[in-house]
Amino acid sequence: MDIEGKPFFETMYADRGNVVNFLRAFAAMRNHACWREIGFEQDSLAWIARVWQEASIAAVGNARLRDACNHEAERYATLRQGLVDGMMERQEPGVVFLSDRSDWPHPKVIKGAIRALRHAQIGRLQ
């Protein structure tokens, strides 16, 4: 699946500052036929957690969406910390695969986060 004519991986990493494009690419990854084979390293997990934190801030006034975005931010921060701890223990790089559908955010949460970020005019992170 492509985002604006580009493969979603390229979209996600080429313009890391654009949170809306990132979440669109993330949604495409979730729905891709090879979703079990998509891995994230520690920098990617940190970025994903930060995007969800920003979405949580943008969701002010919608407690349900804010809580869902907070949950996602905490989940990816925890995954990152677990990866870092394991890498230090094994002395080798690592990757986290989201191999269960429940590891991925629900599509409604992703769409809600995109709407909230657009409404709050948060498009880029520094």
Domain residue ranges of the chain, discontinuous segments joined by +: 2-119
Question: pLDDT tens-digit profile of 67-107?
Answer: 999 999 999 999 999 999 888 778 777 888 888 888 899 99
Between CA 121 and CA 126 the distance in angstroms is 14
Between CA 37 and CA 100 the distance in angstroms is 11
Question: pLDDT tens-digit profile of 19-38?
Answer: 898 898 889 888 888 888 88
Q: Which two tokens stand for residue 59?
A: 């969701």
Split at pLDDT 50, 70, 90, the class of 3 is very low
Between CA 64 and CA 71 the distance in angstroms is 11
Give the pLDDT of residue 25: 86
Split at pLDDT 50, 70, 90, the class of 6 is very low
Q: Which two tokens stand for residue 46?
A: 């940190």
When mean pLDDT is compared across 44-48, 52-56, 70-74, 93-97, the lowest value belongs to 93-97
3-state SS, residue 116: helix
Give the pLDDT of residue 13: 53
More confident residue, 76 or 8: 76
